[in-house]
Structure 1
Amino acid sequence: MKILFLHDNFPAQFGPIGEYLAKRGWDVTFGTQRQGAKSPFIKTFNYKPHRNITKGVHPYAATFEKAAINGQAAARACLALKATGYSPDVMMAHSGWGPGMYLKDIWPDARYIGYFEWFYQPVGPDVAFLSPDERLSEDQLLRTRGRNAPILLDLAACEYGLVPTNYQKSQFPADLGAKLRVLHDGVDTDAYAPKAGARLVLPGLDLSHVDELVTYVARGMEPYRGFPQFMAAAAEVMKRRPNANVVVVGEDRVAYGKKLPEGDSWKKRMLAQHSYDETRLHFTGLIPRDQYLKVLQASSVHVYLTAPFVLSWSMMEAMSAGCLVLGSDTDPVKELIEDGKNGVLVDFHNVQAIARAIVRILESPAKYAPIRAAARETIVAKYSAAEIYAKKAKMFAEPNAPFRPSTSA
Structure 2
Amino acid sequence: MKFLFLHQNFPGQFKHLAPALVQAGHEVFALTSRFEQSQTWRGVRIIAYRWSEPEAQRHHAWLGLMNRAVHRGEVCLRALQSLKARGLQPDAIIAHSGWGEALFVRDVFPDTPLGIFSELYYRAEGSDIDFDPEFQTGQEFGRSARIRMRNLAMRMQLESADRGISPTRFQADTHPPDLRDRIDVIHDGIDTDAIRPAADAVYDHDSLRLTRDDEVVTFVNRNLEPYRGYHSFMRALPALLKARPRARVMIVGSDGVSYGAAPKDGRSWKQVFLDEVRPQIPQEDWARVHFVGQLPYGAFLSLLQVSTVHVYLTYPFVLSWSLMEAMAAECAIVASDTAPVREVIEDGQTGVLVDFFDPAAIADQIARLAADPERRAALGRAARQRIVERYDLSRVCLPQHFAWVERLAASGPARNGTA
TM over 0.5: yes
1:389 partner letter: L
| 1:330-384, Cα deviation, whole Å (9 max, x unpaired) | 1110011111101111111010000001111111122221111010000110011
Q: Residue type matched to 1:161 in 2?
A: G
Shift of 1:196: 1.5
**Deviation digits for residues 222-271 of structure 1 (CA, Å, limit 9, x no counterpart):** 11100011112123211221110011111112211111136401221222
Task: Give the secondary-structure state (helix, strand or coil) at the position aligned to 1:147.
Answer: helix
Per the alignment, residue 417 of structure 2 pairs with none
The structure 1 residue matched to 2:166, chosen from 153, 163, 168, is 163
Structure 1 residue aligned with 2:404: 395
Please point out which of 215, 220, 240 is paired with 1:217: 220
Q: 1:306 aligns with which of 301, 314, 318?
A: 314
Distance 2:139 2:116 in 1: 31
C-alpha RMSD of the superposition: 2.0
- Please state if 1:39 is matched with 2:49: no
| TM-score (structure 1 length as normaliser) | 0.93
Q: CA deviation at 1:145?
A: 1.3
In the TM superposition, 1:35-184 aligns within 5 A as: 35=35, 39-49=41-51, 52=54, 55-131=57-133, 134-184=137-187
Q: Which runs of 5+ in 1 are unaligned?
A: 404-409
Structure 1 partner of 2:338: 330
Q: State the SS of the aligned residue for 1:333.
A: helix
1:6 counterpart = 2:16: no
In structure 2, runs of 5+ residues without a counterpart are 414-419
TM-score (norm 2): 0.91
SS at match of 1:167: helix
Q: CA deviation at 1:128?
A: 2.0
Equivalent positions of 1:197-212 (< 5 A) are: 197-208=200-211, 211-212=214-215
Q: Where does residue 17 of structure 1 map in the other structure?
A: 17
In 2 relative to 1, CA 242–18 (structure 1 residues): closer, same or farther, beyond 3 Å?
same
Q: Is the CA contact (8 Å cut-off) linking 1:199 and 1:210 kept in structure 2?
A: no
Q: Which moved more, 1:151-160 or 1:56-65?
A: 56-65
Alignment check: 8 A CA contact 2:210 2:306 kept: no
**Which residue does 1:379 correspond to in 2?**
387
In 1, Cα distance between equivalents of 2:56 and 2:121: 25
Residue 142 of structure 1: CA displacement?
A: 1.9
Contact 1:29–1:43, Cα closer than 8 Å, also in 2: yes
1:394 positional shift: 2.4
Q: Alpha-carbon deviation of 1:130?
A: 0.7
Within a 5 Å distance, the mapping from 1:342-357 to structure 2 comes to 342-357=350-365
Q: Give the AA of the match of 2:60.
A: H
Give the AA of the match of 1:67.
A
Counting aligned pairs with the same residue, the percent is 38
Q: Which one-letter code corresponds to 1:396 in the other structure?
A: V
Per the alignment, residue 407 of structure 1 pairs with none
Cα gap change, 1:54/1:141 in structure 2, threshold over 3 Å: closer, same or farther? farther
Aligned to 1:258: 261
Single out whichever of 278-287 and 299-308 deviates more from structure 2: 278-287
Counterpart Cα distance in 1 of 2:326 and 2:385: 12
Contact 1:210 1:245 in 2 (8 A): no
Mapped to 2, the partners of 1:393 and 1:152 lie a distance apart of: 25
Work out the CA distance in 1 between the residues paired with 2:173 and 2:220: 26
Give the deviation of 1:140 after TM superposition. 3.6
Task: Tell me, in whole angstroms, the C-alpha distance in 2 between the residues paired with 1:135 and 1:125.
Answer: 17
